[in-house]
Amino acid sequence: MNTPSSKTTPKRIQRAFWLVLALILGLIGWWLLAKPSQAPAASGQTSAATLPAGSEVAVFAGGCFWCTEADFDKVPGVLATTSGYTGGKTANPTYAEVSSHATGHAEAVQVVFDPKQVSYRQLLDYFWRTIDPTARDRQFCDIGTPYRTAVFATSPEQLQVAQASRAALEKSKPFPEPIVTQLLMAEDFYPAEAEHQNYHQINPVRYNFYRQGCGRDVRLAQLWGELVKAKP
C-alpha cells in the first residue's frame, strides 16, 4: 500500500516559504500605500460657537492627536473631541505643513466637557497619565515639536488650576525625571482634516497597529505603573 511521505521535500519547503513571504510583503505594501478613509468629521464634533449650555472647553497636546482624542473619548462627561493644531504661527495649517515642522503648531485635541460630570482638574489629572511628561518635543515614536506636550488653558482660571495640578504632580510623581510639559494660554485652534477626526473609530485596525507599534501604552505603564489605570 502506497502512503504519502511524512517528509516535505526541500523544494516544497522553499516554495511555501517564498509564497508566504510574498503574501506578507504584499500586505505590507497595501498597508503603507492605502490612504485613510476620507470620511467626514463625526457629528459629535462641537465648535466653541455651538457649545451645549453649561459646557466648557479644554485643549491638550499629548503627541499624536489620534491617541489623545481616543483617550479623552473614554471619559464620562466629555461631550465632544476635535483633533487639530494650535500653538503655531500659520493660519489654517494643513497636516502636511504641521508635520514638516514649518508652522510651529502642535497636534492637539479640543475637549468639550460638562463640568457637572467631570471637572477640569480631573481632566488634567487624567491627561498626565496619558502622556510622557518627561519627553521634550516628542512623544513615544513621534519626534519633533508637533508632538510636544502642553496644556493650553482657555481662561486664567484654567491656567491656575493647571499650575496647581503640575505642582502637585511634581511632589507625587512615581518617576525621577522632571516634567517638561508646557502650561500656556490657549491660542487659535484649527480643526484637522476630516480623515483625522475620530480616527480610532473610523480606522480601528490601523489606529491600533500604530498605537501598539509606537509603544505608547508600554511606556505609560513604565512611567505610571498602576496609576495609568486610574479613572478620572
Our answer to whether residue 64 is catalytic in this structure is yes
Cα separation, 179 vs 186, whole angstroms: 20
Q: Is residue 175 predicted with pLDDT exceeding 60?
A: yes
- Which one of the listed residues 64, 67, 141, 214 is annotated catalytic? 64
Nearest Cα to Cα of residue 81 among 109, 42, 118, 41:
109
Residue ranges of domains in the chain, CATH in brackets: 54-229 (3.30.1060.10)
Question: What is the percentage of the chain residues whose pLDDT exceeds 70?
Answer: 78
**Number of neighbours of residue 175 by Cβ within 10 angstroms:** 13
Q: What is the pLDDT of residue 232?
A: 83
Cα separation, 211 vs 67, whole angstroms: 7
Kindly state the average pLDDT of the residues 185-199.
96
CB 141 within 8 A of CB 100: no
Poorest-confidence range of 34-48, 98-112, 122-136, 144-158?
Answer: 34-48
The pLDDT tens digits for 118-151 are 999 999 999 999 999 999 999 999 999 999 999 9
Q: What is the pLDDT of residue 6?
A: 42
